[in-house]
């Protein structure tokens, strides 16, 4: 049976895609689903050259309690750059066919797959091939992660336009690191403005999570806050009827 899934992209790097992906994995596991995670391309990895460790992928695997590390993050680079640039400097390549093969293998093991992109939709993976191209080949709907402060309207609408032009299905937008006290006027007004201008559903917002630490794979209160503040069923779309895989 083909697994359901979601592709999590962002309006920029470091907007919180990994936190959102991990939060979703924790909540779906709590619902009894067997959740798979994937970080197809990872840059800024550390460790020995032949065994580079992608920190984001390790965090996601811990959240989902996954195995199959080689399938989870098949394309790894040391330099924290766009993958096409990192690949050139490190004399490697982003092997798209291998990524898709790994994705297909993961589908056999899990009910629902959460795939986290690198940067945003227009990050080049290789010449004339972007993250958006990979999403189309995987056939997944996308969830956009954005910040809510000044500049969010422009960055989010550009991401929405890029997705629509390329025929991608938009499931919704989540705002990350939203202040819960002393919030700015931009944070207060931007989500509604973005929804009104784009028509894309706003599925919730996340504050900074106490006890969350990617370096040590500590999730703090992420699961509880995600359950409380995010419309998980709308992320899942029509796949909420799935029975857990035994």
pTM above 0.85, yes or no: yes
Note whether residue 132 is domain-resident. yes
- Total domains, the chain: 1
In a domain, 45, yes or no: yes
User: What pLDDT shows up at residue 2?
Assistant: 56
Q: What sections of 147-245 are H helices per DSSP?
A: 152-165, 185-198, 222-229, 232-236
* Residue 216 located in a structural domain: yes
How many Å apart are CA 67 and CA 2, to the nearest integer? 19
Query: Within a domain: residue 145?
Result: yes
Range of the domain at 95: 4-149+165-186+209-231
3-class SS of residue 173: strand
Residue 94, phi then psi, degrees to nearest 5: -90, 110
Kindly tell me if the per-residue pLDDT of 37 is higher than 50. Answer: yes
Q: Is residue 109 part of a domain?
A: yes
Confidence at residue 113, expressed as pLDDT on a 0 to 100 scale: 97
CA angle 155/156/158 to nearest 5° reads: 65
pLDDT at 41: 98
Average pLDDT, the chain: 94
Cα distance between residue 47 and residue 51, in whole Å: 6
User: Is 222 among the domain residues?
Assistant: yes
How far apart CA 72 and CA 75 sit, in angstroms, is: 9
Contact 206, 177 (CB under 8 A): yes
Q: What CATH number does the domain containing 141 carry?
A: 3.40.50.300
Q: What is the pLDDT of residue 182?
A: 87
The set of catalytic residues is 39
For residue range 176-235, list pLDDT tens digits in order.
999 988 889 999 999 999 999 999 999 999 999 999 999 999 999 999 999 999 999 999
Task: Please check whether residue 200 lies inside any domain of the structure.
Answer: no
Instruction: Return the closest-CA partner of residue 171 out of 222, 240, 105.
Output: 240
26 domain-assigned: yes
Residue 246 has pLDDT above 90, yes or no: no
């Amino acid at each position: 049976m083909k697994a359901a899934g979601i592709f999590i992209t962002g309006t920029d790097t470091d907007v919180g895609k990994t936190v959102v992906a991990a939060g979703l994995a924790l909540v779906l596991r709590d619902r009894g689903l067997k959740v798979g995670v994937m970080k197809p391309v990872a840059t800024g990895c550390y460790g020995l050259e032949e065994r580079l460790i992608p920190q984001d992928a390790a965090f996601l695997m811990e959240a989902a309690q996954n195995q199959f590390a080689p399938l989870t993050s098949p394309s790894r680079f040391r330099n924290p750059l766009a993958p096409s640039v990192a690949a050139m400097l490190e004399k490697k390549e982003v092997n798209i066919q291998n990524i898709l093969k790994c994705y297909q293998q993961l589908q056999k093991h899990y009910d629902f797959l959460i795939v986290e992109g690198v940067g945003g939709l227009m990050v080049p993976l290789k010449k004339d091939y972007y993250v958006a191209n990979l999403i189309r080949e995987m056939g997944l709907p996308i969830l956009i992660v954005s910040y809510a402060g000044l500049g969010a309207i422009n960055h989010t609408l550009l991401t929405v336009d890029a997705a629509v032009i390329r025929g991608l299905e938009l499931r919704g937008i989540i705002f990350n690191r939203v202040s819960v006290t002393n919030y700015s006027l931009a944070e207060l007004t931007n989500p509604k403005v973005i929804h009104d201008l784009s028509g894309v559903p706003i599925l919730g917002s996340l504050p900074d999570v106490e006890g969350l630490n990617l370096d040590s794979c500590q999730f703090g209160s992420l699961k509880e806050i995600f359950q409380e503040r995010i419309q998980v069923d709308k992320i899942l779309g029509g796949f909420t009827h799935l029975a857990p895989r035994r």
